[in-house]
Amino acid sequence: EVRLVQSGAEVKKPGESLKLPCKASGYSFTNYWIGWVRQMPGKGLEWMGIIYPGDSDTRYSPSFQGQVTMSVDKSITTAYLGWNSLKASDTAMYYCARLGDGLGTPPDWGQGTTVTVSS
């Protein structure tokens, strides 16, 4: 069974750093792209970017380029989404998702992590 397990809710202050994990299991971690999606309160899904764990090839959405950093640790099959300096506008739910491969494998989603940034 494919599982993407994300961490619990985070409450941070503006200017603080944060790294959200997405622990993958049940499939070959290095062979599928992982994406990150933002959902601001009451809004739709926004694609932030994708990373290929096999070689860490990363593609950021233009809206998020320079604002976040995606990374992976293959040894523990975990992908990460990070910020160096959070802003109040980063308050949102963040989902990780394993993309499909176009060859019959459907996408799978994590359960999401809520991030609240407030002074």
Partner 1 sequence: NFMLTQPHSVSESPGKTVTISCTRSSGSIASNYVQWYQQRPGSAPTTVIYEDNQRPSGIPDRFSGSIDSSSNSASLTISGLKTEDEADYYCQSYDDSNVVFGGGTKLTVL
Residue ranges in contact with partner 1 by CB under 8 A:
35, 37, 44-47, 50, 59, 61, 95, 97, 99-100, 102, 104, 106-112
How far apart (Å, rounded) are the C-alpha atoms in residues 21 and 8? 10
**Which structure tokens are listed for 116?**
């609240």
How far apart (Å, rounded) are the C-alpha atoms in residues 90 and 39? 10
Cβ proximity to partner 1: between 75 and 103 the closer is 103
Torsion of CA 74, 63, 61, 49, to 10 degrees: 30
Q: How far is the CB of 40 from partner 1 (least distance, A)?
A: 12
Using CB atoms within 10 A of its CB, is residue 4 exposed (0-12), middle (13-18) or buried (19+)?
Answer: buried
Cβ proximity to partner 1: between 66 and 106 the closer is 106
Q: How far is the CB of 117 from partner 1 (least distance, A)?
A: 21
Cβ proximity to partner 1: between 111 and 116 the closer is 111
Q: How far is the CB of 112 from partner 1 (least distance, A)?
A: 5
Q: How far is the CB of 16 from partner 1 (least distance, A)?
A: 25
